[in-house]
């Protein structure tokens, strides 16, 4: 199967590239795409750069130009739920855009006409992930991930996102990638390991835990890849 694996930052895909062996590189549309064969699958791997616009470009290219049949996102997130500690893994049940605001026209926060407030990730990939978590002996949380073009480092903003969207974690790319996959009819899965708790100390924690948390997420995603199609 042709599988796309993407992250937003180089640090989020480096552990994947280090594990897959040899790969080819191809530059297109402002990104470098890494292709290889791994466990009988053809992989295309890339980091998009930060935010909704760059991640939508990368996801679109992976589906249109590289013909990916499934897309897995691996990276880090700010934790909202008190249950989530730094290093914990969360898979998105559904994703939304916390920075969409056309409430002046009577729409709820996050809603765009002809779109959906929440985009659900693929149920089969989520069940596979639950099995992988049991076999790896790791806790895997499932919940709503809220995406926006903001690095959230404020308790006030974090609470608003929690209350408005019932979100458990937040980041800057998941919902845009989900939107691309929904529109192309491609199954997708978003996994994030917590790097910070999106409040006053977020930037320091992010710097301290980006690499270790990204590695946790990457390791899990590669275990999933090994079992896709079994
Ligand atoms: O991709 C962005 C979203 N990621 C998830 C995340 C998050 N999102 C929102 N709020 C939080 N509290 C979050 N915690 C984790 C992580 C990433 C956040 S933006 C980090 C930007 C850090 C940075 N800025 N400049 N550089 C790094 C240096 C640099 C230089 C050259 C090329 C690339 C980076």
List the chain pLDDT tens, one digit each, 230 residues. 999 999 999 999 999 999 999 999 999 999 999 999 999 999 999 999 999 999 999 999 999 999 999 999 999 999 999 999 999 999 999 999 999 999 999 999 999 999 999 999 999 999 999 999 999 999 999 999 999 999 999 999 999 999 999 999 999 999 999 999 999 999 999 999 999 999 999 999 999 999 999 999 999 999 999 999 98
Is 196 a catalytic site residue? yes
- Domain ranges in the chain are 2-227
Contact 189, 224 (CB under 8 A): yes
The pLDDT, as a whole number, for residue 82 is: 98
Both tokens of residue 162? 């929690």
Q: For the whole prediction, is pTM greater than 0.95?
A: yes
- Rounded CA separation 93/223 (Å): 19
How far, in Å, is the centroid of ligand 1 from the Cα of 53? 14
How far, in Å, is the centroid of ligand 1 from the Cα of 50? 6
CATH no. of 2-227? 3.40.50.1580
Contact 177, 190 (CB under 8 A): yes
Nearest alpha carbon, ligand 1 atom 4: 171
Active-site residue (options: 11, 88, 173, 196)? 196
Interval 77-104: pLDDT, tens:
999 999 999 999 999 999 999 999 999 9
Q: Is 218 in the pocket of ligand 1 (CB under 6 A)?
A: no
H helix or E strand, kind and range, residue 227: helix 202-227
């Amino acid at each position: 199967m042709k599988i796309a694996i993407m992250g937003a930052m180089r640090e989020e895909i480096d552990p994947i590239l280090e594990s897959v062996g040899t790969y080819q590189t191809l530059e297109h549309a402002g990104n470098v795409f890494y292709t290889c064969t791994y466990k009988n699958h053809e992989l295309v791997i890339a980091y998009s750069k930060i935010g909704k616009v760059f991640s939508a470009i990368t996801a679109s290219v992976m589906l249109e130009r590289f013909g990916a049949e499934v897309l897995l996102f691996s990276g880090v997130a700010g934790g909202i739920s008190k249950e989530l500690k730094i290093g914990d893994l969360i898979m998105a049940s559904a994703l939304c855009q916390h920075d969409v605001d056309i409430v002046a026209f009577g729409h709820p926060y996050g809603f765009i006409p002809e779109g959906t407030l929440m985009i659900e990730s693929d149920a089969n990939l989520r069940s596979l992930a639950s099995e992988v978590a049991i076999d790896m002996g790791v806790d895997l949380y499932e919940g709503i991930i809220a995406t926006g073009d903001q690095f959230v480092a404020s308790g006030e903003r974090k609470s608003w996102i929690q209350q408005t969207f019932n979100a458990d974690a937040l980041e800057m790319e998941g919902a845009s990638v989900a939107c691309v996959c929904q529109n192309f009819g491609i199954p997708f899965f978003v996994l994030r390991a917590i790097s910070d708790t999106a409040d006053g100390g977020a930037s320091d924690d992010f710097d301290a835990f980006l690499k270790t948390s990204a590695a946790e997420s990457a390791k899990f995603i590669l275990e999933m890849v090994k079992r896709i199609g079994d």
